[in-house]
Structure 1
């Protein structure tokens, strides 16, 4: 598999990166995980607008899904005609939420462009990829994903606070793409986000092969979170950067 970081800024875009979006490729299949603010523009540097095979949304906060509105425009008004329906997996009411955000009637909403499918905990197949979803610890319905292919795996945390189910999902994974939005000792809100130390602890408990910290907002010091993660986890750790590519 190849993982490309399309965008990794948490909460709102930074000067260096759009919000959350990740491209996973294997055997010619192209899966987009999340499509947050500004991500659609950056995505076009890595894959054609009409070459994506599926989109999976971790949850419906704007920094993870809002660029699907622009993607609807790009597909619906394509000069050569709208392409085939694109599968979009998301939490309950994803079609209604996106229609309301665009101020359009919920029926048909965006269903003539996207084939919406409701996420539930469990595994499903997307081309050559096996995707396993678990619900994580966030104020809204939110999911983390494990993607397995040919004996290799990556796990994407989405947005979550401390979560034992995330540890189990990431057990033995080759690459753990884990959010670290908070700073240890600064934010004390529970069940929202992880800090660098907690991300490291989750990776250590899971026995992950590699940890990549993501979803770090512009107001959070990534170097501090990196140090905190390294203190809790003995494997290789780095901070995600837009445009970074990982071979898994």
Structure 2
């Protein structure tokens, strides 16, 4: 399995830093996980967007899905696509409101919204809590602690496993997903303080504690907000977890398994 960081800025894009977006590849199949602001440009620097096999959304806050409208434009209006996007629709797995939310974000008017559901170029699938198969991946989704329908994912092949927290405060679902995983890709939005709002985000300390309790092989910290010092959350995580820890870097690829 190969993980490529397309974007890892938390809550909004930063200077020359796309928001959340990741590319997970195995056996020639490419799965985009989240598609925040700036991710479409970053994807084009690594892969032809038409080569995507599927898109998987953890939740529908703009920093995780804002560039999906651009992907719609590409699939609808590219003058010379490598295949007919209306005959080979791109599977999109996400929260139950995804088709309506994305249609509303794309439509220029109420009249256009009445005429389009984006089903001409996408095939939408509402995420269940549990396991689905997407290409070569076994994807286990679990609801996590965030103020909307939000999921964390365990993405596995027979030889490798990756857990992505999405956006979440500490919760039991994350511990169950992360148990013994090879790589934990965990949000670490802010520095630790006891008065942080509950059920929203993780600090570096909480991400490190999660990694230690779950016995993961490696911890990658992502979704660090532009106003947060990444070295502080990295130090917090290392105080809690003695295994390998690093900050996710835009454009870097990690081989798993």
TM-score (structure 1 length as normaliser):
0.97
1:158 to 166, 170, 175: 166
Shift of 1:46: 1.2
Gaps of 5+ in 1: none
Q: Does 1:95 align with 2:96?
A: no
**Hey, what's the Cα distance between the residues in 2 that align with 1:47 and 1:170?**
29
Q: Deviations over 1:70-119 (max 9, x none)?
A: 00000001213642110000101101111111234155321111101001
Q: Deviations over 1:152-205 (max 9, x none)?
A: 101000000011111110101010000000211276111000000000011111
**Hey, what's the Cα distance between the residues in 1 that align with 2:27 and 2:75?**
24
Higher helix share: 2
TM-score (structure 2 length as normaliser):
0.94
Label 1:167 to 1:7 Cα distance change in 2 as closer, same or farther (>3 A): same
2:142 to 134, 159, 162: 134
**Hey, what's the Cα distance between the residues in 2 that align with 1:216 and 1:245?**
18
Counterpart of 2:89 in structure 1 is: 85
1:222 to 213, 216, 230: 230
**Hey, what's the Cα distance between the residues in 2 that align with 1:184 and 1:241?**
21
Runs of 4+ in 1 over 6 A off after TM superposition: none
**Hey, what's the Cα distance between the residues in 1 that align with 2:114 and 2:26?**
34
**How many residues are treated as equivalent by the alignment?**
248
User: Could you say what the CA RMSD is over the residues aligned between the two structures, in angstroms?
Assistant: 1.2
